[in-house]
Amino acid sequence: MTAIYLWINAVLYAGLAAWCTLAPTATSQAVGFTQLSASGRSEYAVIYGGMQFGFAFLFGWAALGGHLRFGLVFALALYVPIVLFRAVSLWRFWPVGPTTLWTAMLEVLLLGAALALWWSGRAID
């Protein structure tokens, strides 16, 4: 079950990395960046394309190589602070757009799944 969870994360991050890299204007505007300079577009490509592709790689590597505990710890290291920061940002900057809300719900779901797998004891390498 943990390997499936890790593969889901790998596919989600690979898809997001591709979408952000191939359609940076559309994706940046969907999350609220209304205008980007050349430096901003470069930074967006690096963080939303490159780093998320790196996340996809690590999730895929963990699933493929049987490094389930590592993959789950990696997921928790990402999603715990992301969900906490997201909650604070939603509280501070409400109302936000629908893409931000859908992203928040997905992050909460992925964190909940990681916690359930961790507590179930299925995170064994």
**C-beta of residue 24 within 8 angstroms of C-beta of residue 44:** yes
Read off the pLDDT band of 124 (50, 70, 90): low
pLDDT in the model for residue 30: 85
* CB atoms inside a 10 Å sphere around CB 113: 19
pLDDT in the model for residue 40: 84
For the residues 20-46, what does the mean pLDDT come to?
A: 85
Share of the chain above pLDDT 90, in %: 68
Residue 123: which of 86, 72, 87 has the closest Cα? 72
pLDDT in the model for residue 32: 83
Cβ-based burial of 82 (10 A; exposed 0-12, middle 13-18, buried ≥19) = middle
Mean pLDDT of the chain: 92
* CB atoms inside a 10 Å sphere around CB 49: 19
Phi-psi region of 66 (alpha: psi -120 to 50; beta: other; left: phi over 0): left
Entry pTM? 0.88
pLDDT in the model for residue 123: 60
What's the maximum distance between 2 C-alpha atoms anywhere in the chain? 47
Read off the pLDDT band of 72 (50, 70, 90): very high
Share of the chain above pLDDT 70, in %: 97
pLDDT in the model for residue 59: 98
